[in-house]
Chain A
Amino acid sequence: DTAVSQTPKYLVTQMGNDKSIKCEQNLGHDTMYWYKQDSKKFLKIMFSYNNKELIINETVPNRFSPKSPDKAHLNLHINSLELGDSAVYFCASSEGLVSDTQYFGPGTRLTVL
């Protein structure tokens, strides 16, 4: 069984469209994250939820909106996609907030044309 899964794996879309990426973890963890990895492989935190509560909300455009319907799911919705949004987006989860190991999903490669 996949511990942290994301769908879709690849997403190709036109500028201006709205899209969503879904993430699910079956590890029973309390905390989930969204990261963005750019073409130079820099990895940057975007959001973090702990027990469905938003804990980290980094400086990202408000076109990006996370939603956590329950502890096992953290989805990312992106409005009005721009060329610069092209990247690989990783979901991750951890048992708690501070000292715990993060488990990463396989990533979603988003390409905006």
Chain B
Amino acid sequence: AQSVAQPEDQVNVAEGNPLTVKCTYSVSGNPYLFWYVQYPNRGLQFLLKYITGDNLVKGSYGFEAEFNKSQTSFHLKKPSALVSDSALYFCAVRDGGRAGGFKTIFGAGTRLFVKA
């Protein structure tokens, strides 16, 4: 069965500093990995995904994530945080094979707070 873990409930960072939001996963087949962001009272918005190819994936709003197969991780990063980045971030995984039943499993979410 596939699973995804976001070990931090909240990440606090000062504006202008780099940020990292952690994610680890477990799947039996090839992992398809996603990051979504949710602003208050809104639906989730897609940031980036890894399907295959280059381990470093660049996405929206200056975010990037690195796929690390040996550590089964897909951490979200940004070189310089903005106050407007403050939101709830979800990591998600889908098993590329049929074993996952086409389900996307979402992590519990990490609240990012960027202080001015």
For the complex, would chain B's binding face be called helix, strand, loop or mixed by DSSP majority? strand
**A104 partner residues in chain B, CB cutoff 8 A:** 36, 43-45
Contact of B96 among A99, A101, A102, A106 (CB under 8 A): A99
Q: Would A101 and B46 count as touching, CB distance under 8 A?
A: yes
Chain A, interface size category, equals: 20 to 34
Residue of A nearest to B108 (CB): A42
Q: Which residue of B lies closest to A106 (CB)?
A: B43
Residues of the A chain whose Cβ atoms lie less than 8 Å from the Cβ of B34? 101-102
CA distance A11 to B36 in the complex (A): 25
Point out residues on B near A: beta carbons under 8 Å: 32, 34, 36, 38, 41-46, 49, 51, 88, 90, 94, 96, 101-106, 108-109
Shortest CB–CB separation between residue A44 and chain B, in angstroms? 8
* A47-87 residues at the B interface, CB under 8 angstroms: 48, 50, 55-56, 58
Whether the pair A45, B104 counts as a contact (CB closer than 8 A) is: yes
Could you tell me which A residues sit within 8 Å of B by CB distance? 4, 40-45, 48, 50, 55-56, 58, 90, 92, 97-99, 101-107
Which of A40, A41, A56 contacts B102 (CB under 8 A)? Answer: A56
Which residue in chain B gives the minimum CB-CB distance to A91?
B43
Given A4-B43, A90-B44, CB of A99 within 8 Å of CB of B103: no
Which residues from chain B contact A55 at a C-beta distance below 8 Å? 102
Q: Which residues does chain B contribute within 8 Å of A106, judged by CB atoms?
A: 42-43
* Identity of the chain A residue whose Cβ is nearest the Cβ of B111 in the assembled complex: A41
- Measured CB to CB, the nearest residue on chain A to B94 is A98
CB-defined contacts of B105 to chain A, threshold 8 Å: 45
B104-A102 in contact (CB<8A): yes
Query: A103 CA to B105 CA in the complex, in Å?
Result: 15
Residues of A within 8 A of B41 (CB): 107
